[in-house]
Structure 1
Amino acid sequence: MSFFRNRNRTAPSFEAFDHLATMVAVLDREGRCQHVNAAFESTLGLPRRALQRSSAFGWFVDPAMLKVTFDAVVANEYSTARLEALLGRPPGAASSEPLPVHAIVTQIDHGEQVLLELVELEQQARQDREARALDQARITKELIRNLAHEIKNPLGGIRGSAQLLEMELDNRSLHEYTQVIIHEADRLQALVDRLLAPHRRPHMVADVNIHEVLERVRSLILAEFPKGLVVQRDYDTSLPEFRGDREQLIQAVLNIAHNAAQALAERRQAGDARIVLRTRAARQVTIGRQRYRLALDLHIEDNGPGVPPEIRDRIFFPLVSGRDGGSGLGLTLAQDFVQQHHGLIECESEPGCTLFKIQIPLP
């Protein structure tokens, strides 16, 4: 395949592989590494020069099956073969934990070289979870929007009828009942308005500094919860600005941080409640099956009791709340606003540590 060589056909050119989300290594016919891509470097935490000329078979916990498959591809018994393996991580790698991978072995350059592509099984599972979450969010939003519109019209009629009825009642003691109808109709109207808010509100795009957003959230949280709570900053100030809706992002982060502060009620009384706002740059990130060179990695972490296990998989669904009196809309709106920025929001929780992760592509 001439694609893999430059115009002079004297030296291989593999720059395109650096744009792939999966780990890619180019091997010679003996299995020695000639090139690895950026995703390979990032996953192993090693520069590519540390892997050059080493044997790929030494990277795996049990290389026997890979060796058999590799030899079959080199011998042209198959042009491509697949297997599952356990990447043992070369010495000096960032982590010593073996990594389960799906390996794809393919001939290139007329059989002179072999392409080894490794897909993290956890990465594949994560992408599948993201796809399911996005589909579920789209379905849920459409359902809620349709339901809200259906509720909205009768509510106006109920409230108006109650007002007319109140005007006709001579016995003022009966006004108590019409007022109950009016107040409950207003409460439901406010709920419907919140459900419809993301669809009504225009997307106000401008340059956004994420740390200005976080400082605004921090000041609002500390103003409401001034005692017993510390909101720590852990910022990477080198992060660039990006195009987005500043108010939407403030609301998304505020909804999460506010939930955390409320969940920290006991720790606030004890004086050791903590919320951490952390920003980092993430490189070669896949969001919604699209690869981005650079992304914002925003963490909102608290030391509260954790999300109840029975709702952990449903916390972004509308009307699901782990708190008495909660509307169950805060995290739904946060997810919607983050997705409007082509981002992803996830939650990991256990007693003593709840972590919300937001990733948004950066320029």
Structure 2
Amino acid sequence: MAVPAEYKNILDSLTTAVLVLKDGLRVQYLNPAAESLFETSITRSRGLPIHHILADSEDTLKTLYAAAHTGQSYTRREAEFVLASGTRLTVDYSVTSASLEPSALTIEIQPRDRLLRISREEEIISQQETTRILVRGMAHEIKNPLGGIRGAAQLLDRELDSEDQREYTQVIIAEADRLRSLVDRMLGPNKAPKLAATNIHEVLERVRTLLEAESRGRLSFHRNYDPSIPEFPGDKEQLIQAFLNIARNAMEAAVENQSDNNSSTPPTITFRTRALRQFTIGHRRYRLVCRVEVLDNGPGIPADLLQNVFYPMISGRAIGTGLGLSITQSIIGQHNGLVECESKPGRTNFIIFLPLEDNQ
């Protein structure tokens, strides 16, 4: 089934991926959008069975065969395609029978990953802003009475002659100071970042050095860096703190997981960096963005915690304060970036996006 030249020009200009199959679901035509989506070309793919470019589930392929046999059209929303390369895509797609050749199928595919990611990022940014407003209000309500309690305890301490009784007032003062410090930590960095030319790999190497010292050789590090990533305007010390919070959590989870399961697999953290072009963070599109991944082979984050992991006081560990990731999101947010998290048992991945241009 050859595509007429006048129609081919139209199909080639579409942003919707169009795939035509015939003769037992063999590839007959891919428009340029489909070539980009499937990471192949029509020259390489023409005549190949569909499973050579789409390593999808048997159910999907069976449905395609049934559609080719019966001529039945159908549509799927937010389906997952697995490419031959292993790449996973979330797509909407429609299958229709070609009118000129009933056994041929036309598949129209709309990728959903970018829209879903933007929607997810908007939700994270909204959560972050809501959290910041709530914490600021709560901090104000807590700090005022704490100041009064501490002041009254100091006055009482001066009036008491008994050392035993003064010991109690000292406890009150110390606990008031501890609560004030906790509230300050919940608020995150209390000063604007001091921007200077920053190399992301210097930041990550500093974090790696600190954790290697803390772990005393129990932790294995893998590094997969993109050396082409340029310097960008950033506060090096704040960024070290942000990545250290993530990597320390990863280290503790991986080490505890090995100990609990008596596993022979060493606790491992992987740092990976990549440059992304024309990438959207929130509502803004940037010419160049740095993507940093911090992966560990720990037990994973429970599903009921994953959606709330960046809220203050949320922690999956009994001794955790639940402030580290909230502070990290705040620091990265001050750099106009964003932190996301993907997790399953044996693999947790924190993904940090940082614009590589001056946005202030």
- TM-score, structure 2 length as denominator? 0.72
Deviations 1:5-27 (Å, cap 9, x if unpaired)?
Answer: xxxxxxx9xxxx9xxxx945699
Spell out the pairing of 1:113-124 with structure 2 (5 A cutoff): 119-124=110-115
1:353 aligns with 2:343: no
Among 143, 148, 162, the alignment partner of 1:171 is: 162
Assess if the C-alpha contact under 8 Å between 1:44 and 1:94 holds in 2: no
User: What is the Cα-based RMSD across aligned positions, in Å?
Assistant: 4.4
Deviations 1:132-162 (Å, cap 9, x if unpaired)?
Answer: 1211111111110121122222212211111
Q: Mark the CA change 1:99 to 1:323 in structure 2 (over 3 Å): closer, same or farther.
A: closer
Question: Distance in 2 between the 1:284 and 1:41 partners?
Answer: 20
Unaligned runs of 5+ residues in structure 2 are: 1-8, 20-27, 47-52, 55-59, 95-106
1:43 aligns with 2:33: no
Question: Distance in 2 between the 1:300 and 1:274 partners?
Answer: 10
Q: Mark the CA change 1:225 to 1:86 in structure 2 (over 3 Å): closer, same or farther.
A: closer
1:208 aligns with 2:208: no
Question: Distance in 2 between the 1:140 and 1:87 partners?
Answer: 33
Assess if the C-alpha contact under 8 Å between 1:303 and 1:354 holds in 2: yes
Shifted more, 313-322 versus 242-251: the winner is 242-251
Spell out the pairing of 1:268-347 with structure 2 (5 A cutoff): 272-347=266-341
Deviations 1:240-275 (Å, cap 9, x if unpaired)?
Answer: 222222222211111001111222343676782211
Q: Mark the CA change 1:284 to 1:84 in structure 2 (over 3 Å): closer, same or farther.
A: farther
Assess if the C-alpha contact under 8 Å between 1:26 and 1:35 holds in 2: yes
Shifted more, 346-355 versus 265-274: the winner is 265-274
Q: Give 1:231's aligned residue.
A: 221
Give the aligned residue type for 2:32: V
Give the aligned residue type for 1:250: I
Unaligned runs of 5+ residues in structure 1 are: 1-11, 53-57, 69-82, 104-115
Aligned length: 321
- TM-score, structure 1 length as denominator? 0.71
Q: Give 2:248's aligned residue.
A: 258
Any idea what SS the aligned residue of 1:249 has? helix
Q: Give 2:237's aligned residue.
A: 247
Spell out the pairing of 1:101-116 with structure 2 (5 A cutoff): 101=92
Question: Distance in 1 between the 2:168 and 2:76 partners?
Answer: 68
Shifted more, 214-223 versus 277-286: the winner is 277-286
Question: Distance in 1 between the 2:274 and 2:87 partners?
Answer: 23
Question: Distance in 2 between the 1:214 and 1:96 partners?
Answer: 27
1:188 aligns with 2:179: yes
Deviations 1:224-250 (Å, cap 9, x if unpaired)?
Answer: 222311222221112222222222221
Deviations 1:295-350 (Å, cap 9, x if unpaired)?
Answer: 22211111222223332221100111122232211000111222222322111222
Q: Once the two structures are aligned, what percentage of the paired residues are identical?
A: 45
Question: Distance in 2 between the 1:172 and 1:292 partners?
Answer: 63
Question: Distance in 2 between the 1:196 and 1:88 partners?
Answer: 40
Assess if the C-alpha contact under 8 Å between 1:89 and 1:95 holds in 2: no
Q: Give 1:9's aligned residue.
A: none
Any idea what SS the aligned residue of 1:223 has? helix
Among 145, 148, 152, the alignment partner of 2:136 is: 145
Any idea what SS the aligned residue of 1:314 has? coil
Assess if the C-alpha contact under 8 Å between 1:44 and 1:89 holds in 2: no
